[in-house]
Structure formats: C-alpha cells, structure tokens
Amino acid sequence: MKKKKITLGEIARLAGVGKATASRVFTEGASVAPATRERVLTVARDLGYQPSQLAKSLSTGRTHYVGVIFAYMDNPFYAASLEVLTYTLQDAGYQVLLLMAWNDTPEEEKIIQKLLDYRVEGIIAGSASISNAIAQRCADLGIPVVMYNRDQLRLNLPAVVSANYQGAHAATRLLIRTGHTRIAHIAGWQQATTGIERAKGFSDAMAEAGLEPVAITDARFLRHLAVEETHRLMRDGPRPDAILVGNDNMAMAVMDVLAGAYGLDIPGDVSVIGYDDAACAQLGRYDLTTVRQPVGQMAREAVGLIESLILDPAQPARKVVAPATLVVGSTVRGMDLTTTASIEALSRELGIDVEVRTPLAPGLSA
C-alpha cells in the first residue's frame, strides 16, 4: 500500500492528457481547452497535488530567492528592518533565504558561497562586509548585491543608507545652537560607514562653528564599550556638557552611567542625543532626542532596488539615501518648541525634518 508521489506526470496520466498539457494548466496564459483544464484541475485537487518549486526553478532558471544576510538583532533598527524587508519581498513574490553573519566572521565567505549554491537571484547584505573577491564573483555570476544601511566605499555597489552625515550634522548643530560648547562624540564603529559618516557630520559641524570637540571615541556600537568610554570621559579632561552618541542603544547606556554613577541630571548637566529612534528610546523614562532612520522606507527601497537589478542586472549601481528626521525628546536642554512655527523654523535652520515626540506614542514600527 505504498503511497505514490503525486507529480505532474501522475496527474496527467490520471486525467488522460499529456504532461505538457497538464503543465499548461498551471501556467498563466497558456492555451488549454476549458474542458481539459477542468478535468486536470479536478484530478489535481483530489490528489492534493503540490507543484514542486524545485523542479520548476531548475527548468525555468528562476528561483525567486533573495538571500538576506543580517545580524545585530538586539538592535531594534535591524529587527524592524528585517521584518519589513521580509514581508515586502514576500509580497513581491520572492522567498527570503535568511543568513546570520557578523562582520568579522571568517565564515562569511562560506555563507555567501552557500547562497550562490542555492542560486539566489539577489542578495541584500545588512551586516556582512562584502569582500572584493566575493563581490567580483557575484558580479561574474550576474547576481546583484545591495548593501543595506552600510556602504562599501572601495567597491561601487548599490546601497541603501540614510543620511547619516546630515543627521549627525544637524544633531550637532542643535547642540551648538542651544548653547553647548563642550561637546563629545561617542561614535559608532569606525569601520562601518554608518559610524564613519556620523562622526564626520559631527566633526564638520563642530569645525564650522569653530568649536573643538571634547573627545571623539570609537565605541563600536557596543553598549559595554559605550559605558567604558563614558567613564573615561568623566574621569579624564574637561567634562562635556553634551554628548552625541552613535546609536540609541549606546545612548541609553550612556544616560544610565551619567545619572547612576555621576549623579548628573539630563539634560540639566549634560545633554544627550542618540541615533536610530529605537522603540526603547521612545519610552517615557528616556524620551531620547535622536535622529530617526526611516526603517520602512529604507527596507522598501532596498527591495525595490534588488527587484529592478534582478530584472536588469546591467544597470549601473545606484545609491539611495533616505532622509533622516531629527526627533526631539527631552534630553537636550534649552529647547523651546511649543509652537508649530518654531518647529518649522528649526527645521529650516538645520536643513532636516524635525519632529517633536509626543509622549507615549503607540510607537510600533512599520
């Protein structure tokens, strides 16, 4: 009583038609007589026929797979990004092959190798740094790669990022404009373009105002390093009256250290600005002033980009820069944004969208 596998051929046989005809029944826009179609569909339904994507992909040469390489899921920005990427891709008819890989992993090469074996039609890389060799290989195979939230400076790859430079620049100018003079920057990883661009935005804004940064240190987006750096900042040299931090996760840790270990008031004694507008940072007890990266928009752009590259791999590498928004919480002193007019004025002055956070926003990202 062994169960026979239900294949197209089996269906065809039982419906008394050729394999080719049966195939046409499941192909959009192929010409089949209505009566035949009905007969085949009935048999298929009765037997619970499941067409094999594997066989289909093999013969058509299209897999509809997109490889997504991610990491850092403890950062809400990446978690939200992955969610939007995934359902956007699946709505567009693609399947997500998910891989986790950190930047420094030696397995990186192997990981991508695997993706190629599975014949993905495109790759969205949100964490891995694509080495020259791998990028070349993908190019040879005609497989487009889109960098997400990072840019490969040496290689000319398509990428989706947000306006990191402008965001950090505007945030810094906000601090300067509100009267802070001893400003420090606890930066994100200086090997990633996000960290680099934000640090540059900070430095430039300081220089333009004729101010010398109290310090610029690399905390590599790691909370415990941010904690260390904060202690160092408070111990050595002149204490800052404001700190721009590389992302929200670190910024909240910084706030905890300032208040907990040094009894400082925020923003009374020190102002703090973060980056990302992570869900936690929106909570009442932090209400962090920060720069928002438009997660949803970025993810959708990335999908659009990879889609268009899959359809036409020859097109030149395009970079998409999504606009950032300055989100005003209550961690910067000297702010007065009670009227719509003053908000608009600030926005014009800083050259960036400004939004005042309404406390206890529902705040579910999408």
Site of interaction with its own copies (CB under 8 A):
48, 50-55, 57-58, 63, 68, 71, 73-74, 76, 79-80, 82-83, 86-87, 90, 95-100, 111, 114, 116-119, 137, 140-141, 223-224, 227, 252-253, 255-257, 259-260, 279-280, 283-286, 359-360, 362-365
Q: Of DNA, its own copies, none, which one does residue 35 interact with (CB within 5 to 8 Å by kind)?
A: DNA
Least distance (Å) between residue 101 CB and its own copies: 8
CA 342 to chain centroid? 32
CA distance 364 to 197: 27
Question: Do residues 12 and 18 touch, judged by C-beta distance below 8 A?
Answer: yes
Least distance (Å) between residue 118 CB and DNA: 12
Given the rule CB under 7 A, which residues bind DNA? 5, 7-9, 16-21, 23-24, 26-27, 31-36, 49-52, 54-56, 58-61
Mapped onto helix, strand or coil, the DSSP state of residue 266 is coil
Least distance (Å) between residue 37 CB and DNA: 7
Question: Do residues 241 and 178 touch, judged by C-beta distance below 8 A?
Answer: no
Q: Of DNA, its own copies, none, which one does residue 118 interact with (CB within 5 to 8 Å by kind)?
A: its own copies
Least distance (Å) between residue 36 CB and DNA: 3
Least distance (Å) between residue 89 CB and DNA: 21
Q: Of DNA, its own copies, none, which one does residue 19 interact with (CB within 5 to 8 Å by kind)?
A: DNA
Cβ closest to DNA, residue 37 vs residue 150: 37
Q: Of DNA, its own copies, none, which one does residue 9 interact with (CB within 5 to 8 Å by kind)?
A: DNA
Least distance (Å) between residue 23 CB and DNA: 3
Dihedral (C-alpha) 32, 35, 36, 40: value to the nearest 10 degrees? 120
Cβ closest to its own copies, residue 142 vs residue 179: 142
CA distance 353 to 357: 13
CA distance 83 to 279: 14
Least distance (Å) between residue 249 CB and DNA: 43
Q: Of DNA, its own copies, none, which one does residue 4 interact with (CB within 5 to 8 Å by kind)?
A: none
Q: Of its own copies, DNA, none, which one does residue 365 interact with (CB within 5 to 8 Å by kind)?
A: its own copies
77 to 73, 150, 164, 307, 353: CA distances (angstroms): 8, 13, 14, 22, 19
The string of DSSP letters for 149-194 reads S---SSS---EEEE-HHHHHHHHHHHHHHTT--SEEEEE--TTSHH
Q: Of its own copies, DNA, none, which one does residue 63 interact with (CB within 5 to 8 Å by kind)?
A: its own copies
Cβ closest to DNA, residue 50 vs residue 358: 50
CA distance 124 to 120: 11
In this structure, what token pair is assigned to residue 125? 């890389």
Q: What share of the chain is helix, strand, coil (3-state, %, to 5)?
A: 45, 15, 40
Question: Do residues 108 and 54 touch, judged by C-beta distance below 8 A?
Answer: no
